Structures are given as structure tokens and as C-alpha cells.
Structure 1
Amino acid sequence: MDFGTSNSAIGVVRDKAAALAPVEESSTLIPSAVFFDSETKGRVLFGNEAISAYVGQTEGRLMRALKTILGSPLIEEETVIGGRKVALADVIETFVRHLKHKAEAFAGREITSVVHGRPVRFVDGDDKADARAQDMLETIARRVGFRDVAFVYEPIAAAHHYEQTAEREELALIADIGGGTSDFSIVRVGPRQRDRVDRGSDVLANAGVRVGGTDFDTALSLAAVMPNLGLGTQLVEKNLPMPNALYHELATWATINFAYTYKNERALAELVALACEPEKVERLLTLVHHRLGHRLAFAVEDAKITLSAEDRVTILLTFLDANLAAEATRGQLDGAIDARLDRLHATARDCIAVAGLASTAIDTIFLTGGSSRVPAVRAAIARAAPTARLAARSDLLSVALGLTQVAGAMS
């Protein structure tokens, strides 16, 4: 099972062969999203169906980027769904149970054992918090009916997938740049190693950092979109700046729903009257009142994806104001995520050093994870091993395929 921040997949082993289960119609990939429908009591939607219900303005609560909650204090929080408080851990359980049911429908039988992917680090610099995050994920796996639970680092799983096409022995830096975390492993891969059961000696180092695509979304939103909603503007009295906490909350996937409070609406209504540019703050009030935070986040995420291929993009914000749009450039995105790029480069470089290798010893950098498509991300990682060739394959499914291959070897 690859339970991801942005997307998820699950596979089963049939006659020692790995096969991914259809999890959304015929697709083997599903957005990690849950929608609790308030109009039809008790109806829960998943993936693209959940997103479509939200965008179509069905009354309810959308939850996304659930995995990021595991490594944060939010895991202890509750959210209000249909007038009742629900623990965020229970929301994750609902989604994981859905994945399990899809795998069982594909396999035609109950499944009680799982090889679960996990990042190298759920939490930076806090081993106890990191252990608690895995413990919570294991608890959830057992609550949905898995009796045997094993964990494998996600870049190690991706290495197994990459190795199926490796034509020679090589030292590979596996870089899995996901939605919530970025993980690196140095692994010996090749035809000679491929069929060995015990591969522990081939893994030379692992490293991880809590930086991923959702952080890039936050940075781009704050840089390109939130100024149109008043971020960086002034208040009339004493020329004070607009308070910025709510902007950060609404720009971060995991905290959007926490912004929807009557207290925030009252405060924004007062700030409209005090603002030097009231029309911008009025847009922010509209966003909070109509609970359009996820709609904004999806528009920013789409823009980030477009900027992986284009130099410029127009972000339409007509759901807030009929004529409103924001312009974003690749240079603007690169500047907004510059500090995070430095952390990615440093983590990749340190992983090579921990393995006791010179940067020139790396033959291949295998890039996987949706955020590895961002050109500046690829460049930052490539600088850690400048003589290595860059390779990519099935960037959204490599981990799931590799985990299923590991499950086959363990069965």
C-alpha cells in the first residue's frame, strides 16, 4: 500500500507477480481525498469523485493531504463533519479502509497482510514523533483489518521497481519527491542483485526531509495568489499590515478547514472596514464564508503542474471575483521555493556522504514522485551528483509497484 499525500495506490501479489488494483474505475491511482456529503447523510466519496462533489458545490466537507497530518500535532485534532466531531485519525482510517476494500475486490478474497510504504522521515529531527507517526499508521492498518503489517521505506520500494529495467550493475540515488516528504536512498541495483531475497547489504544509506509538493503549493499561493486577497496590504490605522496567519492557514492543504469559523468571518468583516484596499480583503471574506479554500488550492496546484512545462500560467480566480486572475511564472515559483530547494539538495548530498561515497560514485539518479517533475527540484537534486545520469519511470506508481514486488518476495 502506497498511501500518499496527494495520490495513493495499492497492489496485490498473484502467483508471485505484482499487480496494482483498480481503485477508481479502471485507474490504479486515486487522489488521497475524502468528501463527507452533508446533503446525503452518511455518504462518503473518495478520490476524483470527492473532488468533483466539492468543486460542484455539494454541501459537505472535503479532506485532502491526509498523510501530512500523521507527522504533525494535527493528528490529535478533531474536525466537525455533519454537526459532529470526528478525529482526523478516523478520517485517515476511512480512506485506508476504502483502499483495502478495493484491493480485496480485485483479489477476490480477504487480505490480512500488508507491506506499507512510509517516508524515511515523517518528522524532521524528532525520532519520537517519527515513531509515533508510524505507530499511528500501523494502528490504523490494524483497525481496518490487516493483521500482519510490515513497513518499507518508499525510496527502497521505488528502487525495486527501477531495478527491473536496470541493464547493468550501478549505484543509484533514488529520489522520491512526494506531496508531503522527500526521501532518498543509495542502493546497489542491477541484474545480479535482482533475484536475491535479502537486499539489506545493497542499501547503503537513507535520508529524508519533510518537504514536498504541498509545500510548493503553499509557497506559490502566498507569492502569486494571496496578495490579490489582501496579503501584504496595509490597514488605515497606523499603517499596520494585514494579519497574515489566516493566509498561511488557507494556503496549506492540511489546515484549510480550520479557517472556516464564525470568529474568522467576524474578524474579516471588521478588517474590510479598516483596510486600505478593502476590495481585496472582501475577496478573502468571500473565500472563508463560502468555504472555497480547497477550490483555491486546486487552482494553485494546477498552476504549479503547468509551470513544470511552461514558463507562465494564468490562475483563474473567477469563483471569487468575476474578472479576477493571477499571473504566475516559473521564476516566481522557483524563488518562492528556493529555501526548500536548498533543503532537498542538502539532504541528497548528505545521503551520499552517509553512504561513504563521493558524488562522482553515483551512476544514476532515479527520480520518482509527482513533485520530481518540477524543473528546479530536478536541478537541485542533480547538483548533489552532477556526473550521474537522470532517469525517471512511472513517477506516480513506482512506489506502489515496488512495495507490491517486496510483498511478493516476502510471501
Structure 2
Amino acid sequence: MLGFDYGTSNCALGIMSGDKPELISLADHGTYMPSSLYAPSREVIVNWLQQQLSPDAKAEFSGLRRFQLQKGQSMLRELALDDIPGDLFFGKQALARYLEDPSEGYYIKSPKSFLGASGLKPQQIALFEDIVAAMMTHVKQLAEQALQQDLHQVVIGRPVNFQGLKGEESNKQAIDVLTNAAKRVGYRDIEFQFEPIAAGFEFEASLERETRVLVVDIGGGTTDCSMQLMGPQLMPNLDRSPHLLGHSGQRIGGNDFDIQLALKGIMPQLGMDSLLKSGKPMPVNSYREAVAINNINAQTEFYSGANGRFLQQLKRDAEQPELVEHLIQVHQEKLSYQLVNSAEQAKIALSDCDNDKIALDYLNNRNKDETADVSRLLLLDAAKRELGSICELMQDTVKQAGCQPDAIFVTGGTAKSPVLREHLQAQYPDSQFIIGDNFGSVTAGLTRWSQRIFS
């Protein structure tokens, strides 16, 4: 009986130890594995996954992915000629492999962000299903090694809405991907629970009386809010729907804060705020697409051959062509994830200090000391729209509930940021404001719910 937070930022599994949830150690990853994967080629993911499956699952999978497996086998032969193994890497190891040579291999961060995307073709959905299954397999194998037992029952967390567009259609697509992947890797009993409700279960365990709680779960890809009636007398109920007073969610999360900080803090160093020789401002669309790592269409457009030619023309037209040369380097070496990762590390650093410097030596071999200066004020300005949207979600949830919260419980990695915390607290100065376990609240709540429904 597991709680599984397949998160946009991190993956974590929990199991009950007595009356308390305990996160499972995932070997070298620790209790949290960053949600990222690296393969020497996208085509070989399916072949790696096939080798991990049980005989029955392998036979079914081989029938479903016959063409992809043949293509992957051909790619494995090509890689072998260059003495490159077909191994996959996960978490921090995946990021490290990508950073060794961003122009080679296939790296994906936060695949959960794409599961509800509209307009995906069947082959794209199949690829995401295989990526999710590969990550689930890796995590499940490590958990089974740690616990010395087979794992078959799981509650998986889900946001209220995976995607802002096409609401329930997007949600169904994402849930189908997660369900198919979980079945494929050996989970027999699979249930889902809203992430803000799960986070609320963990907070509820600390309450001594009935309380109206506004739970704000700011994940890597989505923000979910729920107003819940909680208390020790309500905890034993298996049907908590009467206690859910309102909920809302939107595709805004920590990744968006990273992207906006990259745009405001780094892209000026690449010429975004410079001028053309004509005196006109530099077109900004390519700069936005370059860091939009959670938007398939934007990334496809940025890395297209047509955009490469456009950037070369932009360099010729620029008043400071050496700056645009950096953007061309991003295009040629596929550095989008590296840029956003730099911004993410700066965002984390700004939790403890007012100012930070982002090292940009990978953009300029001639000047190893080049940096971009960022601050909490810059982060606040960069994330203005995202903060406003989160406040609107909170207001909408309170309006649905028809009452004010006694307490506001905020969880998720970005909740650690003082910029976010102070902005949200200012919206409800009369409510008790609590910051939960930045990463573990959802996993712990899912684990508690798993024990209740599977016992």
C-alpha cells in the first residue's frame, strides 16, 4: 500500500510505518528523485523499458510497440558502433549526463507537464507513456529493493487540472497515460487522489479541532487549491467529499517561476532588451520560446531549421551581434534546459539571500566570469503574472466554499520562497498561515489515504 507522488519536480514513494507515513529511500536518489530522464537517443527508451517488464507484460508491450522497438533496435546498433551503451539515467544523474554535452542525447525534465497537452499525436502520447513507465519502473524497483517486497497497490497523486485548456479532455488523457504506465510496470490496484486534498490529509493529522483549511499546493507544473473541513473527528471517514468545500487548479507552478526568472534575469545577456541597427527593439519571441521548456510547440519552433536561419539574420541586423550569438549558441547546442536550470538554482538561492549571481560561462568561452545578477525584487517582478494567477485560484476556491479559511496551508517546493510566501500571506492577513513540508506533504497524505482504502 503505497502513496506515489509522481511530481513535476520530484518523484517520491511513501509507506505507512505504524500510524505515520514514511518516505522510502530510493538508493542514491535519497527520498526524492528529480523528475527527469536522459537517454542516448529517444528511440531506445522503448527498448530499455521492454527489458524491465515481466514476461506477460513484455509480450503485450512487444505487440503494441513493434515498430518503435524495431526502430530502437536499429538505433542501438548505431550507438554500439560509437561504443555508447543504451542505458537510461534518472534524476540528478540524468541532469549530469545532459550537462556533459547538451547537444547530444535526449533529456526530458518534468514529463508530467506535458501529459495533458492538447494536440498530441498518438505516437507522442505513446512516447510519454513509455517515459512515465520507465521512470515508474526505476522508482518501483528501488523501492522494492529497499523494502524487500513486491509492491502492487498504489495511490497516485494528480492535480485538479493537468492543463488549462480542454479541461476534462486533458485530464482524461493524462490519467490514461499514468494508469497505463502504472499497470505496465506491475501495479495491480491503482487509485488517484487530488494532490491538494492529499496534502490536507497530512496537515489534518496535526489538528485538535474542526478547522476550515485552504490548502495551496504549488507544484512544479500546477497549482491546486482546495478548501477543506478538517479535524480529528472527520479523519476516519472514507468519503471526504462532503468536507471538500471548494477546489480549483491551473497549470502554473515552480517551472513557470524558473522560466520567467530565466527570461527576465538571463535573456537580457543574450540581447533580449537590445536594439536592432534600425533602432527598433529586438523581437522577443525567440527568447520566450528558448526557455519555454514546458511547451512542446514553442520548443519545436525554437529548434527548427527555419528559426536557426532567422536567428542568423537577427544577428546581422543587431546593434550588438555578439549578444545574439549567445542565443544562436543556445539553438545550436540545445541549451534550453541548462538556462532554466541556472534560473532554478538562483531561485532556490534567493530563498536564503536577497541577491544572487547566475554563472553563464557555458554561453561564452571567451569570458569565464560572465554572470547575470538576480534578486528577490527581480523574481517578484518576473513572477508577477504567476503570483496573480495563484491569488485568483485562492479567491475562486474561497468563493466556492462560501466562507473564509481559518488557516492557509501552503506546500510544494516553491512555497519555500519568501517572495511567494509574503505575497500570498498579504492576501489573507487574518488567517493563520502555515508552510508545510515543501516536498513531502503530498506523498505523506497519499500514503495515509492508501492505507485507508486498501486496508
Give, in whole Å, the separation in 2 of the partners of 1:133 and 1:190. 32
Which residue identity does 2:132 align to in structure 1?
A: I
Counterpart check, 1:64 vs 2:109: yes
Counterpart check, 1:132 vs 2:173: yes
Residues 249-281 of structure 1, C-alpha deviations (whole Å, 9 max, x = no match): 221223586444444434333332222110001
Aligned residue in 1 for 2:358: 315
Counterparts in 2 of 1:262 and 1:185: CA distance versus 1, 3 Å? same
Aligned residue in 2 for 1:144: 185
Give, in whole Å, the separation in 1 of the partners of 2:85 and 2:123. 19
Residues 55-91 of structure 1, C-alpha deviations (whole Å, 9 max, x = no match): 2338422210211101213754878xxxxx9823322
Q: How many residues align structurally?
A: 402
Which of 398, 401, 414 is the matching residue for 1:352? 398
Task: Give 1:23 shift.
Answer: 2.0
Residues 7-46 of structure 1, C-alpha deviations (whole Å, 9 max, x = no match): 1111234667533222242611110010113663311000
In the alignment, is the contact (CA less than 8 A) between 1:115 and 1:404 conserved in 2? yes
Give, in whole Å, the separation in 2 of the partners of 1:162 and 1:209. 22
Counterparts in 2 of 1:143 and 1:30: CA distance versus 1, 3 Å? same
Which residue identity does 2:375 align to in structure 1?
A: T
Which of 299, 303, 323 is the matching residue for 1:280? 323
Aligned residue in 1 for 2:449: 406
In the alignment, is the contact (CA less than 8 A) between 1:69 and 1:75 conserved in 2? no
Q: Secondary structure at the match of 2:357?
A: strand
Name the stretch that deviates more: 390-399 or 162-171.
Answer: 162-171
Aligned residue in 2 for 1:89: 129
Give, in whole Å, the separation in 2 of the partners of 1:32 and 1:211. 17
Which of 201, 206, 217 is the matching residue for 1:176? 217
Which residue identity does 1:139 align to in structure 2?
A: N
Task: Give 1:116 shift.
Answer: 0.8
Counterpart check, 1:337 vs 2:383: yes
Counterpart check, 1:49 vs 2:93: yes
Which runs of 5 or more structure 2 residues have no equivalent in the other structure?
Answer: 42-82
Counterparts in 2 of 1:244 and 1:91: CA distance versus 1, 3 Å? farther
Task: Give 1:311 shift.
Answer: 1.7
The CA RMSD measured in Å over matched residues stands at: 2.5
Residues 160-218 of structure 1, C-alpha deviations (whole Å, 9 max, x = no match): 11122223332111111111111111122223233344333222221112111111111
What TM-score do the two structures reach when normalised by structure 1?
Answer: 0.90
In the alignment, is the contact (CA less than 8 A) between 1:75 and 1:89 conserved in 2? no
Give, in whole Å, the separation in 2 of the partners of 1:74 and 1:6. 24
Aligned residue in 2 for 1:5: 8
Task: Give 1:324 shift.
Answer: 1.7
Which of 21, 24, 48 is the matching residue for 1:21? 24
Give, in whole Å, the separation in 1 of the partners of 2:34 and 2:119. 21
Which residue identity does 2:170 align to in structure 1?
A: A
Q: Secondary structure at the match of 2:143?
A: helix
Q: Secondary structure at the match of 1:63?
A: strand
Give, in whole Å, the separation in 1 of the partners of 2:140 and 2:292. 28
Give, in whole Å, the separation in 2 of the partners of 1:16 and 1:161. 12
Counterpart check, 1:247 vs 2:287: yes
In the alignment, is the contact (CA less than 8 A) between 2:118 and 2:170 conserved in 1? no
Give, in whole Å, the separation in 1 of the partners of 2:29 and 2:281. 50
In the alignment, is the contact (CA less than 8 A) between 1:65 and 1:253 conserved in 2? no
Q: Secondary structure at the match of 1:366?
A: strand
Matches within 5 A, 1:288-307: 288-307=331-350
Residues 347-377 of structure 1, C-alpha deviations (whole Å, 9 max, x = no match): 11111121121x3xx2211111011122332
Task: Give 1:402 shift.
Answer: 0.8
What TM-score do the two structures reach when normalised by structure 2?
Answer: 0.81
Aligned residue in 1 for 2:52: none
In the alignment, is the contact (CA less than 8 A) between 1:12 and 1:103 conserved in 2? no
Which runs of 5 or more structure 1 residues have no equivalent in the other structure?
Answer: 80-84
Q: Secondary structure at the match of 1:91?
A: helix
Counterparts in 2 of 1:74 and 1:60: CA distance versus 1, 3 Å? farther
Give, in whole Å, the separation in 1 of the partners of 2:280 and 2:254. 32
Aligned residue in 2 for 1:386: 429
Counterparts in 2 of 1:74 and 1:383: CA distance versus 1, 3 Å? farther
In the alignment, is the contact (CA less than 8 A) between 1:6 and 1:31 conserved in 2? yes
Q: Secondary structure at the match of 2:266?
A: helix
Matches within 5 A, 1:203-214: 203-214=244-255
Give, in whole Å, the separation in 1 of the partners of 2:126 and 2:268. 33
Aligned residue in 2 for 1:156: 197
Task: Give 1:391 shift.
Answer: 1.2
Which residue identity does 1:69 align to in structure 2?
A: F
Counterparts in 2 of 1:378 and 1:57: CA distance versus 1, 3 Å? same
Give, in whole Å, the separation in 2 of the partners of 1:219 and 1:317. 17
Residues 302-345 of structure 1, C-alpha deviations (whole Å, 9 max, x = no match): 11122233221111101112232111121111112112211111
Give, in whole Å, the separation in 2 of the partners of 1:118 and 1:355. 21
The structure that is helix-richer by fraction is 2
Give, in whole Å, the separation in 1 of the partners of 2:105 and 2:122. 19
Counterpart check, 1:123 vs 2:168: no
Name the stretch that deviates more: 202-211 or 89-98.
Answer: 89-98
